Amino acid sequence: MMEENEDQPDGLGSRFSPQKENDEGSGFRLHMVTWNVATADPPDDVSSLLHLNSPTCPDIYVIGLQEVFSGPVRFISDMAFDDPWSYLFMSTLAPQGYFKVSSIRMQGLLLLFFSKLEHVPFIRNIQTTYTRTGIFGYWGNKGGVSISLSFYGHTLCFLNCHLAAHMKYATERVDEFEYILDTQTFDSIKAPRVLDHRLLFWFGDLNFRIQDHGMHFLRTCINNQNYSLLWSKDQLTMMKKKEPMLQEFEEGSLNFQPTYKFDLNANTYDSSGKKRKPAWTDRILWRLRSEAPTTEEKDKDKDPGLAEKLNQQEEAEEYPLKIRQDSYTSIMEYGISDHKPVLGIFTLELRKMYETPLVRLHAEGDWSADMDAMVIYCPLQPFATSSWDWIGLYKVGFTCVSDYITYTWVKDDEVPYNEELIQVYVSKEDIPVQGGECVLCYYSGTFQCVIGMSDSFKVHESKVAIEEGLVPEKVNGLDKVTAS
């Protein structure tokens, strides 16, 4: 921690002084979506899906899609550019002040994690992985993709799955889920496996069906909104009664109509010759890890990881984490798929393990393309730097870490300022000519994430460009100038 320094330039003492510790705990709103989009192109508007008109803004969006179109030509282009679904969510959420922290895609499975900008420097150790289960484990049309991260020190994991289809494969679906849990690992001391995370969300097109009931009874219950009469024959509910591992997961009440299978562009269930039975195939469940070691685990000979478990228990007592589900429902207005999207809205109550970012940074002086500029940054606590650390300049409203105007390598361009502050040089040739509201982000090569972000500041329009009749032109995403 740094004390305020009287020798610092005007304003930097207050900018770089650490924030006050949070003793009471904070509530964070999490908006989750799962949707099997059945290879359809995105709709024009996802405002209702994201509750953009709600008076309460989420802190985090997690969006899991299944059956995103992955034909050979489209998939290759999606590898080079953002796929249409990712682009839609990024372009919709960026103007609302959200940043795409991470994403992972395995053929038709896509998982996106967005955060309010204010939380980005406190989201660390971001890792992704995937598991194929389709066609002998070699084809990625079924399986799971996951994002693991630390949110203010608490380990969270989001696992988006698409499991085996058809009524008779309930046991196989559980086997696939257990296989995914067993095979996915992360480079993390606290949470090397999926079940090691303090909070795990399991969601997606899990494909569990409603068995035994006939079509007429199903339709009658749905039309009368007597959903509770169907719960006992929901396969996932049935499997939880005999599978101890599933019993660790919680789920809200299914007080919305089954989300599969619908005629396209309609709210009527399958009228084709197959007449698939309606089912709650699309689900969101969660598991809050029990921190206390069992009696068996307390035997050190049987459990060499006992010390770590005890440390985690002490950490959980000092930094509690609670979860509350505020809403669990479907959105019926979207008809592009034979599935309806399912939403889960949660409140995470947690005590932050840290209140300050690893780095604070600030744009020194006036910025324009007429002069070289300086960034001043200050490490607030020791961390492992590397030659791959860089500082990016972004327009306000940027979508993700790669959406920079320009960047500078920290180690190549830094100039010591004093014992606590460091300057980094930015060439005027890299500063946008037309100016605009911008922010600076410090990206850590070690942590593979943004660990510090400046307040927004104005880059002034180039006076030289105006006097010489130069106008800005976009070239490869960067601002260049050409004679008018």
Strands (E), 121-171: 123-134, 139-151, 154-162
For position 467, what pLDDT does the model report? 74
Candidates 2.60.40.2840, 3.90.1170.50, 2.10.70.10, 2.20.25.90; correct CATH number of 356-483?
2.60.40.2840
CB neighbour class for 385 (10 Å; exposed up to 12, middle 13-18, buried from 19) = middle
For position 149, what pLDDT does the model report? 98
Q: Which residues pair with 282 in a beta bridge?
A: 205
Low-confidence ranges of the chain (pLDDT < 50): 1-22, 473-484
For position 10, what pLDDT does the model report? 37
State the Cα–Cα distance between residues 415 and 362, nearest whole angstrom.
Answer: 15
Q: Which residues pair with 60 in a beta bridge?
A: 30, 115
- If residue 460 lies in a helix (H) or strand (E), which one and from where to where? strand 457-460
For position 6, what pLDDT does the model report? 37
For position 355, what pLDDT does the model report? 93
Q: Which residues pair with 327 in a beta bridge?
A: 345
State the Cα–Cα distance between residues 199 and 315, nearest whole angstrom.
Answer: 14
CB neighbour class for 219 (10 Å; exposed up to 12, middle 13-18, buried from 19) = middle
Query: Scanning the structure block, which residue is given the tokens 């299944």?
Result: 66
For position 79, what pLDDT does the model report? 56
Q: What's the pTM?
A: 0.89
Other Cβ atoms closer than 10 A to 286: 21
Buried b (16+ CB within 10 A) or exposed e, 186-213: bebebbeebebbbbbbbbbbbbbbbeeb
Are the CB atoms for 400 and 441 separated by under 8 Å? Answer: no
For position 71, what pLDDT does the model report? 75
- Quote the tokens at residue 366: 């006036």
CB neighbour class for 461 (10 Å; exposed up to 12, middle 13-18, buried from 19) = middle
pLDDT digits (tens, 9 = 90+) for 96-142: 999 999 999 999 999 999 999 999 999 999 999 999 997 655 566 89
Side-chain half-sphere exposure of 213, counting CA atoms within 13 A: 22
Buried b (16+ CB within 10 A) or exposed e, 389-410: bbbbbbbeebbbbebbbbbbeb
Structural domain boundaries in the chain: 23-350, 356-483
CB neighbour class for 120 (10 Å; exposed up to 12, middle 13-18, buried from 19) = buried
Classify domain 23-350 by CATH number: 3.60.10.10
String of DSSP letters for 266-314: SSSB--SSS-PPPB--EEEEEEEPP-SPPTTTT-TTT-TTHHHHHHHHH
DSSP alpha helices (H): ranges in 270-425? 306-318, 410-413
Are the CB atoms for 283 and 342 separated by under 8 Å? Answer: yes
Residue 462 is given by DSSP the state: P
State the Cα–Cα distance between residues 364 and 452, nearest whole angstrom.
Answer: 16
Other Cβ atoms closer than 10 A to 423: 16
